[in-house]
């Protein structure tokens, strides 16, 4: 026991972790929010950390870089950075940081516990101050709430073609529940829809791309996913003299909740366009948002390889393996997925078909279609709504 909490030890991947015993902070019903403990540790995020180690391992392998330096900007117990050091070949230095002195104490204990004193150092600084003083190959920003204030300094801290990983847990604004808050935080208008989780990821990517453009840099999405009420995006940041990358990959989306029709508008198509749009019915406009790819092809496949090869050896969560498989499946398929639930509800259909059956039917008709990891009832397809409804009726 430390002087501020009762300690428990947990094994996660290759790491042995000391953290506050969360049961000490449970309410009368037994519920406990990890934020109630003196040092934050969320066991429910373990699966996300499992995926993150595979993403960083894929990045290290695909870039061929060695002696990589990682900054875990808000490390709390240090679990994520410690797992990078233990599980990813090519990492030679990990900097763990937290503004909470108690977290710093626990992180240092965990560094010693895992034999990483020669690899990992622990800082007790405000995030912006730390990032202004260092340069790294990988910067991981995993705050409690919005990551928006930390994206700009994180980009500045990255070396050319470095990897920026950003987590957003403030989903209500991004999912369209509080669109005004989304504008305030991310300079983008969100709305509620069946594809809101993808919309949230694309808004976050747009925000990062916008911050990068201010610094004469561009992003290349490496890996994107939604899991357990958070969005996580990992992008390669590189110097660029091409000023048009932002307008070629960002734009707006026009969505009609009455018909479920949607139309993407790339920013450069907007030049001279206002006044010409005349959507039928009630339509909403969202964005700006990232309209380019959410993943790198090689990255998606390499993450799957790394993850599946270590599921048994490291006890990785099976849900993460399923997610990685779905991501590979949905590569190159149409953006802004449909869901069988929204179609059945909107068109008052007597039954809801299986996404598996509908995808199989659409593919047999010559319309490339796939599942999506964003939603178990979701599917991506090039078919229009009439074709989807015809295929539905034939199942």
Q: b/e per residue, 207-241, with b = 16+ CB within 10 A?
A: bbbbbbbeeebbbbbbbbbbbeebbbbbbbbeebe
Q: b/e per residue, 9-21, with b = 16+ CB within 10 A?
A: eeebbbbebbbbe
Q: Is residue 341 part of a domain?
A: yes
Compute the chain's Rg from CA coordinates: 22
CATH number at 379 reads 3.30.56.70
Q: Is residue 27 part of a domain?
A: no
| 32 conformational bin, left if phi > 0, alpha if psi -120 to 50, beta if neither | beta
Contact 97, 5 (CB under 8 A): no
Q: Is residue 270 part of a domain?
A: no
Q: Is residue 392 part of a domain?
A: yes
Query: Which tokens is 358 given?
Result: 């509908």
Q: What is the residue-wise DSSP string for 32-99?
A: --GGGSSS---GGGHHHHHHHHHHHHHHHHHHT--SEEEEETT-TT-HHHHHHHHH-TTEEEEEEE-S
Q: What pLDDT score does 237 carry? A: 97
Q: What pLDDT score does 242 carry? A: 67
Nearest to 222 by CA among 377, 367, 338, 51: 51
Q: Which parts of the chain sit beneath pLDDT 70?
A: 1, 242-244, 267-282
Integer Cα distance of 115 and 181 in angstroms:
43
Contact 334, 367 (CB under 8 A): no
Q: What are phi and psi of 16, to 5 degrees?
A: -110, 125
Contact 163, 140 (CB under 8 A): no
Q: Is residue 131 part of a domain?
A: no
Q: Is residue 111 part of a domain?
A: no
Integer Cα distance of 165 and 222 in angstroms:
9
List Cβ<8 Å contacts ≥24 apart for 244-247: 244/268, 245/209, 245/213, 245/218, 246/209, 246/210, 246/213, 246/218
Q: Is residue 384 part of a domain?
A: yes
Helix (H) or strand (E) segment spanning residue 341: helix 340-346
Integer Cα distance of 132 and 139 in angstroms:
12
Integer Cα distance of 24 and 5 in angstroms:
8
Q: What pLDDT score does 246 carry? A: 75
Integer Cα distance of 150 and 148 in angstroms:
6
Q: Is residue 357 part of a domain?
A: yes
DSSP state of 192: -
Note if the pTM is more than 0.85.
yes
Nearest to 370 by CA among 338, 394, 342: 338
**Domain boundaries, position 373:** 337-395
Q: What pLDDT score does 273 carry? A: 43
Query: Which tokens is 140 given?
Result: 């991981």
Q: What pLDDT score does 276 carry? A: 42
What is the bridge-based pairing of β-strands 158-168 and 136-141? parallel
Q: What pLDDT score does 271 carry? A: 46
Q: How many domains does the chain have?
A: 1
């Amino acid at each position: 026991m430390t002087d501020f909490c009762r300690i428990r030890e947990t094994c996660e991947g290759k790491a042995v972790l000391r953290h506050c015993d969360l049961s000490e902070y449970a309410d009368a019903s037994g519920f406990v929010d990890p934020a109630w403990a003196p040092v934050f540790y969320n066991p429910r995020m373990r699966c996300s950390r499992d995926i993150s180690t595979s993403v960083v391992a894929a990045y290290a392998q695909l870039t061929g870089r060695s002696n990589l330096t990682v900054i875990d900007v808000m490390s709390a117990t240090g679990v994520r950075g410690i797992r990078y050091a233990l599980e990813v070949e090519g990492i030679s230095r990990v900097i763990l940081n937290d503004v909470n002195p108690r977290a710093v104490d626990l992180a240092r204990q965990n560094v010693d516990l895992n034999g990483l004193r020669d690899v990992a150092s622990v800082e007790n600084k405000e995030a912006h101050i730390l990032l202004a003083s260092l340069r790294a190959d990988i910067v991981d920003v995993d705050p409690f709430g919005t990551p928006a204030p930390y994206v700009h300094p994180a980009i500045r801290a990255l070396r050319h073609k470095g990897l920026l990983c950003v987590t957003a847990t403030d989903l209500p604004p991004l999912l369209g529940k509080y669109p005004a808050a989304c504008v305030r935080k991310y300079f983008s208008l969100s709305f509620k829809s069946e594809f809101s989780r993808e919309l949230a990821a694309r808004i976050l990517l747009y925000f990062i791309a916008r911050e990068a453009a201010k610094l004469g840099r561009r992003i290349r999405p490496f890996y994107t996913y939604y899991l357990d009420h958070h969005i996580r995006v990992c992008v390669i940041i590189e110097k660029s003299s091409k000023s048009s990358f932002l307008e070629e990959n960002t734009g707006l989306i026009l969505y009609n909740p009455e018909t479920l029709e949607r139309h993407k508008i790339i920013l450069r198509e907007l030049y001279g366009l206002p006044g010409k749009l005349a959507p039928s019915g009630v339509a909403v406009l969202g964005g700006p948002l990232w309209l380019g790819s959410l993943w790198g092809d090689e990255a998606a496949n390499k993450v799957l390889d790394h993850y599946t090869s270590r599921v048994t050896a490291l006890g990785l969560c099976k849900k993460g393996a399923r997610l990685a498989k779905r991501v590979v499946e949905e590569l190159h398929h149409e953006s802004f997925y449909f869901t069988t639930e929204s179609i059945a509800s909107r068109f008052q259909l007597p039954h809801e078909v299986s996404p598996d059956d509908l995808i199989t039917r659409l593919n047999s008709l010559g319309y490339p279609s796939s599942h999506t990891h964003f939603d178990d009832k979701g599917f991506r397809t090039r078919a229009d709504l009439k074709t989807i409804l015809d295929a539905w009726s034939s199942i």
